[in-house]
Structure 1
Amino acid sequence: MADPTSRLLTLLSLLQTSRTWSGSELAERLGITHRTVRRDIDRLREMGYPIDADLGAHGGYRLVAGTSMPPLLLEDDEAVAVALGLRTVAVHGLPGLEDAGVRALAKLSVSLPSRLRYRVRTLGATAMTWSRPSGDAVDPDVLTVLAAATASQERVRMQYEDHGGNLTARHVEPQRLVNAHQRWYLIAFDIDRGAWRHFRADRVTSLRATGVRATRGLVPEESVLAHLERSESAMAPTYRADVTLHLPLDTARARLRDYLGTGELVAEEGRTRWRSAEDTVEWLAIRLLTLDCDFVVHGPPALRAQLDSIHRRTG
């Protein structure tokens, strides 16, 4: 193996397996002398890889845990497995690791050959996680592109579906990806509207990086936090209530006249089935309690939990 760089990469790949390699084994696998093995081991140590050496009869070289995380070399199957794991962390979230998972996925995606990216997308689309959903599903590729564009301070174009279901074209400069209330949000400057906006990542489609650098650069974290504080109520998760009201249809319609919106009312033998428009559980609970009637909540579970909480505090 004549190329020193290729030889070092192969040596590092061997050492990253969980075993000890004798100098003779490494020399034979690499087609070099014992002296060259020792010299290459020293070069890897200078690059920050903690390699332990035991020169006894049964000794050899092995990569050990160090004080910092050195770069790793991954085989194709290993890279696919890591990427799939990171997609799961990014979408479903692990407390405290959501942001780190997206950043790591963005870095890995840049390095993956196209054939491996295809395998990751195919496996990600056919695999499933059996768990109670914690929010609306977001495309991992959307998170990857947004994270990469934020890191490189690059403008993106995208289609965005707003709260009313309207689809609009957006041209933005990403600033931060934020995981809040079990959802991912993009904080960005909307170029066409000349204002700061936040966007739910699960409502972003047709996303592409433009290759054009952002003109504002990254704003201070304090400014982003101030925007998040102002937008706190708008970023709270929303739900559609499914409730049977012990009211005739006309009475229910009159009492919900100002709040019905895109919801619907259906008569059910002297009672009314109310399927509400999207709103927070706090407001849905308040509207139910001000209707002055008995009711049965069919869903969502978050609304039942909110009503139970109010009952405990006031009971």
Structure 2
Amino acid sequence: MNEGSSGERGTTERVLTLLGLLQQRQVWTGPELADRLAVTPRTVRRDIDRLRALGYPVHASQGVGGGYQLGRGQDLPPLLLDDEEAIVTAVALLLGAGGALTGSADTALRALAKLDRVLPVRLRQQVQTLTGAIDSFDGGRTPIDPDVLMTLARACRDHVEAVFDYPSSTATATGTRRVEPYRLVASDRRWYLLAYDLDRADWRTFRVDRMTAVAARTWHFDPRPAPDPAPYVQDGVTTRVYPEQAGFLIRAAADTVRAQVPPSAASVHARDADTCELRSGAANLDAVLMHVALLGHDFEVLYPPELIARRRSLAIALGSAASGNVPSEPMSELPEDS
């Protein structure tokens, strides 16, 4: 059999083609592989040994129904995807990162960032087109531009500065922010960026869906010691961002309370096996107090002091309503939760 064509393609390309064949079918005989690769069975055996050296567990069996089979190994070697498989994988990961799929969004984004390193330019437009054609009826996370998410993910991965326009918290105007991006963090509703704001010399949390004109710069930075991303961002968006903040000691296991409270509404910290602390904020704390009361657990207000007195007055009013007594002074209307 003529091996000239094999020599022209090169050993590396031939071995990758062999790997693709092994991933397509359960068992191949040596002559079948030799015919598909246009080489001799001896060359197939050498290429099989090369794959084994790279960590691919290729098993060989004799007799009827025997041949070469790609098995499962202890480590995860590189996968070989054709164009269609790469497109489908990228779309699935984008949807997972965007919240349309169940599971861990940050894990999907990490896998997508790895795939992004090797995804050919010719496939990117097809991925974007397919992603834009898929929607979800269950609401889920606030939709964002996948290109924005990937730009920020690359900047975090490569330790390069990022710039974007962001609305001011005190005005309708939008200003340019220059940051060292550290980590993207997903909640049940939104994506956030934890970054060091270079112009404010402090750590900041940014909502990705509010960013515009997002771009990564070429300026590399050495990562600073950073706060734990997920707890820092959660405390920021549920507590620190609000003018009023409150803490509650709840006599229930932390996991039980976390199952009742959306992570975008409050942070829950275990005290021991049977109690936890819930921290939250709002423009007016009456709504927070009522939500905590409706959880159905015994609780006490830790702070602020005025909310302790407010809890007593609400308890008296609710008790009077339950007994049919009308209080001498009507309760003020509870504000909507912010």
| TM-score normalised over the length of structure 2 | 0.67
Q: What letter is aligned with 2:21?
A: L
Contact 1:155 1:173 in 2 (8 A): yes
Contact 2:30 2:44 in 1 (8 A): yes
Alignment partner, residue 72 of structure 1: 79
Q: Deviations over 1:125-173 (max 9, x none)?
A: 1221222x13321222222121111111111111223455532211111
Inter-CA distance 165–84: structure 2 relative to 1 (3 Å threshold) = farther
Residue among 205, 212, 219 paired with 1:198: 205
Looking at structure 2, the residues matched to 232 and 8 of structure 1 have their Cα atoms a distance apart, in angstroms, of 51
Inter-CA distance 88–235: structure 2 relative to 1 (3 Å threshold) = farther
Looking at structure 1, the residues matched to 167 and 89 of structure 2 have their Cα atoms a distance apart, in angstroms, of 31
Looking at structure 1, the residues matched to 142 and 162 of structure 2 have their Cα atoms a distance apart, in angstroms, of 22
Residue among 21, 36, 39 paired with 2:28: 21
Alignment partner, residue 295 of structure 1: none
Looking at structure 1, the residues matched to 34 and 210 of structure 2 have their Cα atoms a distance apart, in angstroms, of 55
Looking at structure 1, the residues matched to 217 and 52 of structure 2 have their Cα atoms a distance apart, in angstroms, of 40
Q: Deviations over 1:83-135 (max 9, x none)?
A: 1100110001656521110111122123222221000111111221222x133
Alignment partner, residue 35 of structure 1: 42
Q: What letter is aligned with 1:231?
A: G
Q: Which runs of 5 or more residues in structure 2 are unaligned?
A: 1-5, 243-279, 299-314, 319-338
Contact 1:154 1:209 in 2 (8 A): yes
Alignment partner, residue 153 of structure 1: 159
Deviation of 1:182 after TM superposition, in Å, equals 2.9
Alignment partner, residue 52 of structure 1: 59
Alignment partner, residue 286 of structure 1: 286
Pairing of 1:1-315 with structure 2 (within 5 A): 1-2=6-7, 3-92=10-99, 97-131=104-138, 133-163=139-169, 165-214=172-221, 216-220=222-226, 222=228, 224=229, 227-228=232-233, 231-234=236-239, 283=283, 286=286, 306=291, 309=294
Looking at structure 1, the residues matched to 147 and 240 of structure 2 have their Cα atoms a distance apart, in angstroms, of 22
Deviation of 1:284 after TM superposition, in Å, equals 6.5
Contact 1:99 1:178 in 2 (8 A): yes
Inter-CA distance 46–89: structure 2 relative to 1 (3 Å threshold) = same
Contact 1:156 1:174 in 2 (8 A): yes
Q: What letter is aligned with 1:141?
A: D
Number of positions where the alignment pairs a residue of Structure 1 with one of Structure 2: 255
Inter-CA distance 18–281: structure 2 relative to 1 (3 Å threshold) = farther
Looking at structure 1, the residues matched to 211 and 66 of structure 2 have their Cα atoms a distance apart, in angstroms, of 55
**What percent identity do the matched residue pairs reach?**
39
Alignment partner, residue 258 of structure 1: none
Inter-CA distance 134–166: structure 2 relative to 1 (3 Å threshold) = farther
- SS of 1:231's partner is helix
| TM-score normalised over the length of structure 1 | 0.71
Q: Which moved more, 1:187-196 or 1:7-16?
A: 187-196
Contact 1:153 1:218 in 2 (8 A): no
Q: Deviations over 1:18-72 (max 9, x none)?
A: 3211100110111111111011111101101111111223211121222221111
Q: How well do the aligned residues superpose, as a CA RMSD in angstroms?
A: 3.0
Q: What letter is aligned with 1:22?
A: T
Q: Which runs of 5 or more residues in structure 1 are unaligned?
A: 238-279, 290-304
Inter-CA distance 32–288: structure 2 relative to 1 (3 Å threshold) = closer
Looking at structure 2, the residues matched to 52 and 99 of structure 1 have their Cα atoms a distance apart, in angstroms, of 35
Contact 1:91 1:139 in 2 (8 A): no
